[in-house]
Amino acid sequence: MKKSLVFPVVVLFTFLSCQSQGTDPDPERQWPSYRGYYANGVLDNANLPDTWNVENDENILWKFKVPGLGLSSPVIWGDKLFITTAVSEQDDGGFKTGMYGSIGSVEDESLHEWKIFCLDKTSGKLIWEETACTGVPKQKRHPKSSHANSTMATDGNHVVAFFGSEGLYCYDMDGNLLWKKDFGVLKSVFFVAEDAEWEFASSPIIHDGVVIIQSDVLKNSFVAAYDAASGKEIWRMARDEYPGWCTPNIYYDGDQCRVVLNGFKHRGAYDFKTGEEIWRMSGGGDIQIPTPIVHDGLIYFNSAHGRQSPIYAIHVSARGDLTLDEDETTNAYVRWSIPRGGAYMQTMLIYDEYLYNARWNGSVSCYNAKTGEEVWKHKAGSGNSYISSPVASDGKIYVTDDKGMVYVLSAGSAYELIAENDLGEICMATPAITDKIIFFRTINHMIAVSKK
């Protein structure tokens, strides 16, 4: 079958046809990895509420107390929702919210348990839980980080958890461990201060029965592909890159499948089957975090730290070195770029031909996705700092600030705030959407919001 360049519709069905066997009768409605299919963050026809109230249970379907600390987002397949956490009675300092420049780590050397919870998405009841490993964390965490930052990935047959220096684990849907990998210590640190340990955060993805991981760390950075059923390494490519916290993605150039990574020294793409490098580009924010997204033949990147905070739109036919000269904003493959507009933490959102970017300082910008022209820029509500990335459904965009206020915006060419909803707790994880439910992972709970 020829693969389309149009995301997310046609490629989603191509992706699903490649799976060996789905367990859900309507698999295109799942949310299988960070920000859903191909990190696009969109699930229409979900019929979500505009307003809710946690205190009086208005439109609250259920709450599940999650022990420990984690910033991983939930993933969903069928009736199952998966979430990870790292549990320690001594590591009880929580998260420091807001904008600040401290680079120090949390001083904690207590025993932790890295856990996976599988919940019934409709009732919130626990189906199974597994402890992947136990020990003292091999890396410290930042006050805005946890020891369970990476979102899981599932294809309906396998569910994969990546805990950085504590390893990569693959289970079946019933919680039976199939295989695991130990990569040693993955030094997720500030590149100019090795003792500023911030913990690992890149999430795995599964495509066509293959697990892809990105490990940009202080030494021996790499991108690798593993067979989801057996754990056998298919390929592994070394990367000369600063430590980063980006999640990989997939795109197609004609019928050729590519793995695409954000980065500072080495943003670029690799052949999905062989790992051969297709193109590369340097420049941007030098602490790379957001995930690249794909729409209508273009790959979109953003980053922000140091002197630069660009957004790039790169055509899927890209080849070779795409690095822009200092006075350039476009070239043969970079269709448009904005030198200062990118976000430090957040993955961008494309919805109905508009590109939305929620920045750390509480502002949201809307661009024409084809041209890069700014359509509007506005502070959402009271606009506290954002770590969570936006998601969308049925003409509405959901933006969550650090303190747990969810701003519901109308998608389109004019800024309109529909509602503000307080989750009542710190919330720095990106939400997940399924039919009639939007899920928020707060500092203490999984909260399922649905019309009653």
- pLDDT tens per residue, range 394-450: 999 999 999 999 999 999 999 999 999 999 999 999 999 999 999 999 999 999 999
Average pLDDT, the chain: 93
Residue 245 domain flag: yes
Phi-psi sector, 10: left (phi>0), alpha (psi -120 to 50), beta? alpha
How many domains does the chain divide into? 1
C-alpha dihedral (323, 324, 329, 331), degrees to nearest 10: -70
Residue 128 domain flag: yes
Q: In which domain, by residue range, is 428 found?
A: 9-449
Residue 172 domain flag: yes
Q: Do residues 84 and 161 lie in contact, with contact meaning Cβ atoms separated by under 8 Å? A: yes
Specify the CATH number for the domain of residue 154.
2.130.10.10
Residue 1 domain flag: no
CA angle, 157 then 162 then 164, to 5°: 165
Residue 4 domain flag: no
Give dist(CA 370, CA 295) in Å, integer: 9
Tell me which DSSP letter residue 95 carries.
-
Q: Does residue 326 register a pLDDT over 90?
A: no
Give dist(CA 228, CA 209) in Å, integer: 5
Percent of the chain having pLDDT more than 90? 88
Residue 97 domain flag: yes
Residue 83 domain flag: yes
Residue 342 domain flag: yes
- pLDDT tens per residue, range 29-47: 899 999 998 999 999 999 9
Q: Do residues 230 and 188 lie in contact, with contact meaning Cβ atoms separated by under 8 Å? A: no
E strand intervals along 136-231: 153-154, 158-162, 168-172, 177-181, 189-190, 193-197, 205-207, 210-215, 221-227
